[in-house]
Amino acid sequence: TQRTATAVINVDIEGPTISRHVYGHFAEHLGHCIYEGFYVGEDSPIPNEGGIRLDVVEALRALDIPNLRWPGGCFADEYHWKDGIGPREGRPRMVNTHWGNVEENNHFGTHEFLALCELLGAEPYISGNVGSGTVQEMSEWVEYLTRDGDSPMVRLRKANGREDPWKVRFWGLGNETWGCGGNMRAEYYADLARQYATYCRDHGDNKLYRIAAGASDADYAWTETLMKQISCFGCEATPKNFFQGLSFHYYTMAGSWDAKGSATDFDVEDYYRTMVAARRIDRLIAGHSAVMDCYDPNRKVGLVLDEWGTWWDVEPGTNPGFLYQQNTLRDALVASTHFDVFHRHAERLVMANIAQTVNVLQAMVLTEGERLVRTPTYHVFEMNKRHQDAASLAVHLVTSGTGRPVADGELETVSASASVRDGELLVSLTNLDAEAATELTLDLRGGTVDEPTARLLTADRLQAHNTGDDPDAVSARPFDGVTRTTDGGLRLTLPPHSFVTVAARLR
């Protein structure tokens, strides 16, 4: 069958801005994400600044990471921030009961995290402890971080070497409070969210963006219970904004939670099942948004997908509690199709955080001792970074022969999104078909383009991945297959299982 697709884009009709924060990241005290990933300690032979690995920083800086969520995840709800400040040798130790039952020495704490964010040029997103902490503890953390002048927590911060307050906007009110964050009912947590939000104060000109812990997957009832708390019918001028954002989590896997599938040893059927699962994110965002629209029609509360990505069975021989997995071309295509969905939902989706940046789940980089490997997913983030804070452009896809039967449904194998920023058009195109190429026409209306350039991410096999010995097996390469159509559009052939970006100046 001839597979063709036309993407109709009105380049002069700008839609809502794609928040750069949908390109956010997540770093938890889990496995080797923090220790041996981001942080090796000052005495390490690996080049570091204050213990923070400089090769990791350099690799991630190229992604323009907008924000970094920390310290969890499930770990956040057993983390007590005062254990992670002051001279490192004196910091109390604890057991990380959720992730591998290993000892946590608290050497990476508040100051180290904020230093990491400064090195990355990323905004911090701190997830506070609701599950096993106290209102006072969380309130004091905010004071310690963001208050200026003189106060008990300010004096403590200064005694620990930091004179000026940090700017901390994003604040999580717990994590997965329906599960590892306290096993609460939505009604109970809704009250706690209001209570904790009350005492997480805005100090000086630091305005918190409080994010309530939200649903898993399609638990729209949870979202509704939380949204009722900000209901403001007839009170448009003074809505009761206990929280400004509401989160939800969704992970992609080929199988079930009990048998998620291997990261590298999978067949084409597993691949298609994965892509069907990945595509589900569209319905989930639409579903949560629809509930939010009922209570917040003016879209004042942001939807925050602060955990997403692929979750596979751990690599054989690694600690099952460390969630270490390889990352193939399949993972990259899961990421690229998620971004198309994020761009389409720019009006409600204000932030998303892939889990997790280094050495855990769908990572950007994997470290092997002194070596660092950029994963295929890394390249998607890099190729797409100019969508950050760009105006979204609607893409109307007309396809022929690109649907593929999977189980009892059909998978559309072409995915696309587009944006414009500073007169530069960026179009992202994914061909999910495992075997067949697709001829794609960009029907550009309302403007013409100059100097189109394209980049391609693909490999001969879906299972291809990067290793220390072969770090660039899957990496972005220039793609010179773009031609012009007679009516000012562009045409290219998307190779099987590929991701392509096309950039051009608008005239």
The catalytic residue positions are 176, 307
| Binding piece for ligand AHR, criterion CB under 6 A, among 72-80, 153-161, 434-442, 496-504 | 72-80
Q: Does 73 bind ligand AHR (CB under 6 A)?
A: yes
Closest C-alpha among 382, 355, 369 to residue 467: 369
Is the Cβ of residue 175 or residue 252 nearer to ligand AHR in the bound state?
175
Q: How far is CA 151 from CA 114, 126, 156, 159, 398, in A?
A: 20, 21, 9, 12, 61
CA distance 430 to 376: 14
Is the Cβ of residue 144 or residue 311 nearer to ligand AHR in the bound state?
311
Q: Take residue 232 and report the two structure tokens written for it.
A: 């403001």
CB of 172 to ligand AHR, least distance (A): 10
Q: Does 74 bind ligand AHR (CB under 6 A)?
A: yes
Which of 96, 175, 177, 392 binds ligand AHR (CB under 6 A)? It is: 175
Q: Total binding residues for ligand AHR by CB under 6 A?
A: 10
CB of 336 to ligand AHR, least distance (A): 21
Is the Cβ of residue 70 or residue 209 nearer to ligand AHR in the bound state?
70
Say which residues have a Cβ less than 8 Å from residue 109's Cβ, sequence separation at least 6.
Answer: 81, 83, 84, 85, 91
Is the Cβ of residue 361 or residue 393 nearer to ligand AHR in the bound state?
361
CB of 355 to ligand AHR, least distance (A): 4
Which H helix or E strand runs over 476?
none
Q: Does 128 bind ligand AHR (CB under 6 A)?
A: no
Residue 179 and residue 216 in contact, taking contact as beta carbons nearer than 8 Å:
yes
DSSP 259: -
| Binding piece for ligand AHR, criterion CB under 6 A, among 46-54, 66-74, 282-290, 465-473 | 66-74
CA distance 266 to 330: 10
Closest C-alpha among 422, 430, 355, 306 to residue 21: 306
Q: Does 395 bind ligand AHR (CB under 6 A)?
A: no
Q: Take residue 290 and report the two structure tokens written for it.
A: 């629809």
C-alpha neighbours within 13 Å on the C-beta side of residue 274: 32
Tell the residue number behind the tokens 């390469």, with chain if given: 477
Q: Does 78 bind ligand AHR (CB under 6 A)?
A: no
Is the Cβ of residue 74 or residue 186 nearer to ligand AHR in the bound state?
74
Backbone angles phi, psi at 239, to 5 degrees: -65, 150
Tell the residue number behind the tokens 């998978």, with chain if given: 411
CB of 36 to ligand AHR, least distance (A): 17
Q: Does 174 bind ligand AHR (CB under 6 A)?
A: no
Q: Does 307 bind ligand AHR (CB under 6 A)?
A: yes
Position with the least CB separation from ligand AHR: 73
Q: Is 317 exposed, middle or buried (0-12, 13-18, 19+ CB in 10 A)?
A: exposed
Whether cis (ω within 30° of 0) applies to the bond prior to 71 is: yes
Instruction: State which amino acid sits at residue 337.
Output: T
CB of 361 to ligand AHR, least distance (A): 6
Is the Cβ of residue 172 or residue 495 nearer to ligand AHR in the bound state?
172
Which of 301, 355, 395, 492 binds ligand AHR (CB under 6 A)? It is: 355
Q: How far is CA 347 from CA 203, 440, 444, in A?
A: 29, 27, 23
Q: Does 72 bind ligand AHR (CB under 6 A)?
A: yes
Site string for ligand AHR, 17-36 (x = CB under 6 A): -----------x--------
Closest C-alpha among 80, 157, 71 to residue 117: 71
Question: b/e map of 468-493 (b: 16 or more CB within 10 Å)?
Answer: eeeeebbbbeebeebeeeeeebbebb
Site string for ligand AHR, 361-380 (x = CB under 6 A): x-------------------
Is the Cβ of residue 129 or residue 356 nearer to ligand AHR in the bound state?
356
| Binding piece for ligand AHR, criterion CB under 6 A, among 52-60, 68-76, 224-232, 256-264 | 68-76
CB of 356 to ligand AHR, least distance (A): 6
CB of 307 to ligand AHR, least distance (A): 5
Is the Cβ of residue 252 or residue 356 nearer to ligand AHR in the bound state?
356
Closest C-alpha among 198, 481, 456, 207 to residue 329: 456
Residues that bind ligand AHR (CB under 6 A): 28, 72-74, 175-176, 307, 355-356, 361
